[in-house]
Structures are given as C-alpha cells and as structure tokens.
C-alpha cells in the first residue's frame, strides 16, 4: 500500500466568455493543478487568474500544454514534426512560467494535454526528448505521464538522468484491458458517479493497480490521480477522495514533495 499520493485537476481552461469546468470548487480539494497555456484552451487573463487562485488555495501550479487546436480542444491528433512539438511545449510552458513568476510561486510540473499526452506516452524517444528539453529550459520540474505496467521502468531511467517523472491514473475514466483509456466517444468512458470515482481512486493508490472495464487488474506505480473539473461528479468526488484517504491513513501531498 502506498502511503502518499497527489491529487491533481486540469484547470484554467475557460476562454474569453466561454467557461469550462468548476475551478473554484475543485481547487479547494486538490494539491496540484494543470493549467492550460492558451493554445488548446485558456487565454492570458484566465492563466493569470488561475495561477493566483492556486496561490490563494495553496495548490501547486503546473503547465498543461497541448496541440495548437483551439477548436478541437487539443483532443485531435496533429501531424507535427518532433522538433515542432518540442517547440510548442516549451513555448506554452514558458508562457505559464511568466505568470507563476509574477505570482511568486514555483512552477511545480508539466503535464501534456489530450491527444498530445496520449501520443507522447506511446513514443518513448519523443517523451524523453520533451522531458529533457523541459528540464533544460525550466529546471527541476516534475514531468507527469500516464501510469502503465511499463512506466515504472521509464521513471527509473529518467531519474538516473536527472529528470523527475510522476505517474498518473484517472479514477473518473474507464480503462481497456490493455491499460489504455477508453476513448471518450464510447459509452461509459467517463464515470459519472462520485462515490464510484472516490472508491476507484483510493483503490488505485492502496492496491497499486487499475481495473479495466472487464474487471482485469493491471498493476502499475501511481503517484498522482487526476480528476476532471468539467465532470460534475468528479468535482463532487474530490472531497470524498480526501476523506477516504484520511480514513485509510494515506497522505495527499503535492507531487513535487515526494517524487
């Protein structure tokens, strides 16, 4: 049983007059926030506001860069060269780093968004290039990626080269028997029951595994759990996760403090 985990949420994804998620509520319960960087969502005003909200709530701020696909919310794969992908990541993280510096808080982590996150998690060489470039540009930040049976070894290799990796699971998303997320277009891909989400979250940490839609248990190391602020039931699950963790003697801390 693991005795500590981080609870994160995607945040700051509103754009102009368009509102996404419930940052005000979910940030009361998480320890880390992944803030959109104005490319797949958000804008400079939303970025600044979200960073200051992190400071007020004691939540650690991280950058959430994605494909430059505002209309598709970064959930569509784009055909980009390796160097172009790295450039877009550095560009977005740098934009958010400006706002964290303005607020006087550290940039704790970087977590890719949507289709870029999924693609890079399957391309180890590209993953290592991006993580290395992020470290060179922004120092000792944590790079968040998908938890899988193979990711524990990747984490060890990265640590030996000075790159800190946090492995992430999703209690409000369904998994395939292969350990991938069920595509959002499929029925049941997003779990819409707060108690179920909270139970899955604690089970993932306590048992060190995820469970597929067919009941297959897949062992993997898990450092951080993500809940989505655009799913009302996930927001309701956040305080339940904290309550269940306390009852089981599991600490909830920002990932930068233990990864």
Q: Would the pLDDT of 199 be above 70?
A: yes
Report the percent of the chain where pLDDT is more than 70: 100
Average pLDDT over every residue of 210-234 = 93
Average pLDDT over every residue of 163-170 = 96
pLDDT of residue 1: 64
The model's pLDDT over 123-148, given as tens digits with 9 standing for 90+, comes to: 999 999 999 999 999 999 999 999 99
Q: Would the pLDDT of 161 be above 90?
A: no
What angle is formed at CA 105 by the lines to CA 100 and CA 106, rounded to 5 degrees? 85
Residue written as token pair 């958010």: 96
What angle is formed at CA 17 by the lines to CA 25 and CA 50, rounded to 5 degrees? 40
Q: Is 249 exposed, middle or buried (0-12, 13-18, 19+ CB in 10 A)?
A: exposed
The model's pLDDT over 49-76, given as tens digits with 9 standing for 90+, comes to: 999 999 999 999 999 999 999 999 999 9
The model's pLDDT over 22-38, given as tens digits with 9 standing for 90+, comes to: 888 899 999 999 999 99
pLDDT of residue 22: 84
For the domain made up of 4-257, give the CATH fold. TIM Barrel (3.20.20)
Cβ pair 233, 197 in contact under 8 A = yes
- Mean pLDDT of all residues belonging to the chain: 94
pLDDT of residue 58: 96
Q: Could you tell me the pLDDT band of residue 96, with boundaries at 50, 70 and 90?
A: very high
CA–CA separation, 146 vs 61, rounded Å? 19
Q: Would the pLDDT of 20 be above 90?
A: no
Average pLDDT over every residue of 231-240 = 93
Distance from CA of residue 187 to its chain's centroid?
Answer: 23
Q: Could you tell me the pLDDT band of residue 10, with boundaries at 50, 70 and 90?
A: very high
* φ and ψ at residue 244, rounded to 5 degrees: -65, -40
């Amino acid at each position: 049983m693991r005795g500590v985990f981080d609870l994160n949420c995607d945040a700051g994804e509103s754009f102009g007059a368009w509102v996404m998620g419930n940052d005000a509520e979910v940030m009361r319960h998480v320890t880390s926030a992944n803030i959109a960087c104005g490319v797949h969502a958000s804008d400079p005003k939303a970025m600044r506001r979200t960073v200051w909200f992190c400071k007020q709530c004691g939540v650690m701020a991280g950058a959430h860069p994605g494909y430059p696909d505002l209309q598709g919310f970064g959930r569509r794969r784009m055909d980009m060269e390796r160097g172009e992908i790295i450039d877009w990541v550095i560009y977005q993280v740098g934009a958010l780093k400006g706002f964290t510096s303005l607020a006087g808080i550290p940039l704790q982590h970087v977590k890719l968004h949507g289709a870029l996150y999924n693609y890079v998690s399957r391309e180890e060489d590209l993953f290592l290039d991006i993580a290395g470039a992020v470290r060179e540009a922004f120092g000792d930040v944590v790079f968040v990626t998908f938890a899988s049976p193979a990711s524990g070894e990747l984490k060890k290799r990265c640590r030996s080269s000075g790159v800190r990796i946090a492995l992430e699971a999703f209690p409000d998303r369904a998994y395939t028997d292969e350990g991938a997320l069920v595509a959002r277009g499929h029925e049941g891909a997003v779990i819409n029951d707060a108690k179920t989400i909270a139970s899955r979250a604690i089970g993932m940490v306590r048992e060190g595994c995820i469970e597929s839609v067919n009941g297959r248990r897949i062992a993997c190391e898990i450092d951080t759990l993500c809940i989505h602020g655009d799913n009302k039931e996930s927001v309701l699950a956040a305080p339940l996760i904290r309550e269940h963790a306390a009852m089981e003697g599991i600490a909830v801390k920002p990932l930068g403090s233990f990864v």
